[in-house]
Amino acid sequence: MGFKRIIRFQNDFEQGQEKPVNSTLETSDSSKNDTLKVEQLERIWRPESPLECRIDPRSFEGEWIEHKPTTMHQKRIMRIYQDAKGEGRLHAFTCMTIYPSVKDGKLVYQKGLPVVTGFSQRDWEKMLKEFNPSRNSRQMTLTEYMCKILFIIQKLVKSGYEIEAAWEMVCDASQKIGHYRNSYNAKDDFGPKGSRNVCGFYDLGNIGKLIATDPWKRDSGFWVVGDYDPDYFPVVDLRYKYYYNKWLDAGFYFSVGMLAMD
């Protein structure tokens, strides 16, 4: 599929950061029963790191989110988003734009550091929770992760990609935006943190992601999403579902835990 690019890129796209908002909710009689598009913030969001990004999926709107999915991966991400939206479970959250490294048992988010793997789900869950308890740091959930991916699609469209191309790149041909074995200038090993900027996000692909099940789901376990091989595992692929009783303490040598915060 051909890609139509616009030469001029928006600054906020390149930085990948959402500006803090302090807005007052205004509703008319005709919109009171509609899904809220803007919610009055109790406090202004101030990032503690330039590598943070704020995502509010309740504000997703436009033709790009009305896209009719055509593939298995596109249908899955849209279903997860629409189910959460229909149940009123979408919420704003903060994530990091690079993957974590680990030093002395603590998470470190810094460009240029190597990928560190081999930790168990229990290890990642603990380190993510301890990263910043005052902001409810935690392991990113399935719905939060898919909303993060939708946010990237939105940014691609805003930068000039056609809607169908943006969806295809992220959901079905991830080697075009991440570091995979058949990506341009691919390496034989994991790339260093902060590689391959896409919409202000880095390290897409490169390694699998450990994420939690949504808290309202009754089943236990956790997911491994994506991997370094786009022929089978693009960035939205739910590669595995592991259950705590068997895999909680197993070392994962191809994945890292994903962080979310309030």
Question: Over its length of 262 residues, how does the chain's per-residue pLDDT go in tens digits?
Answer: 433 333 233 333 334 444 333 333 333 444 444 444 444 444 555 678 889 999 999 999 999 999 999 998 899 999 999 999 999 999 999 999 988 889 888 999 988 888 788 899 999 999 999 999 999 999 999 999 999 999 999 998 998 989 999 998 888 875 555 434 444 444 444 444 445 677 788 867 667 889 999 999 877 788 888 754 444 456 667 766 777 777 888 877 778 899 999 9
Helix (H) or strand (E) holding 55: strand 52-55
Model confidence, pTM: 0.76
- pLDDT for 111 equals 85
Q: Following DSSP, what letter does each residue of 107-145 receive, concatenated?
A: EE--TTPPP----BHHHHHHHHHHH-GGGT-EEPBHHHH
Length of the chain: 262
CA 101 to chain CA centroid, nearest Å: 17
Considering the domain boundaries, does residue 52 fall inside one? yes
- pLDDT for 249 equals 82
Considering the domain boundaries, does residue 92 fall inside one? yes
Question: Residue 73 belongs to what domain range?
Answer: 48-260
Q: How open is the CA angle 203-208-213, to the nearest 5 degrees?
A: 115
Q: Which long-range contacts does 236-239 make (Cβ < 8 Å, 24+ apart)?
A: 236/73, 236/76, 236/77, 236/146, 236/149, 236/170, 236/171, 237/73, 238/76, 238/142, 239/208
Separation of alpha carbons 60 and 63, rounded Å? 10
Q: Name 139's bridge partners.
A: 259
Strands 238-242, 208-212: parallel, antiparallel or unpaired by DSSP?
unpaired
Separation of alpha carbons 83 and 76, rounded Å? 11
Separation of alpha carbons 100 and 115, rounded Å? 8
Considering the domain boundaries, does residue 57 fall inside one? yes
Considering the domain boundaries, does residue 35 fall inside one? no
Considering the domain boundaries, does residue 196 fall inside one? yes
CA 72 to chain CA centroid, nearest Å: 19
What's the burial of 99, exposed, middle or buried (CB within 10 Å: 0-12/13-18/19+)?
A: buried
Considering the domain boundaries, does residue 211 fall inside one? yes
Considering the domain boundaries, does residue 11 fall inside one? no
- pLDDT for 205 equals 65
- pLDDT for 68 equals 95
Count of domains in the chain? 1
Considering the domain boundaries, does residue 34 fall inside one? no
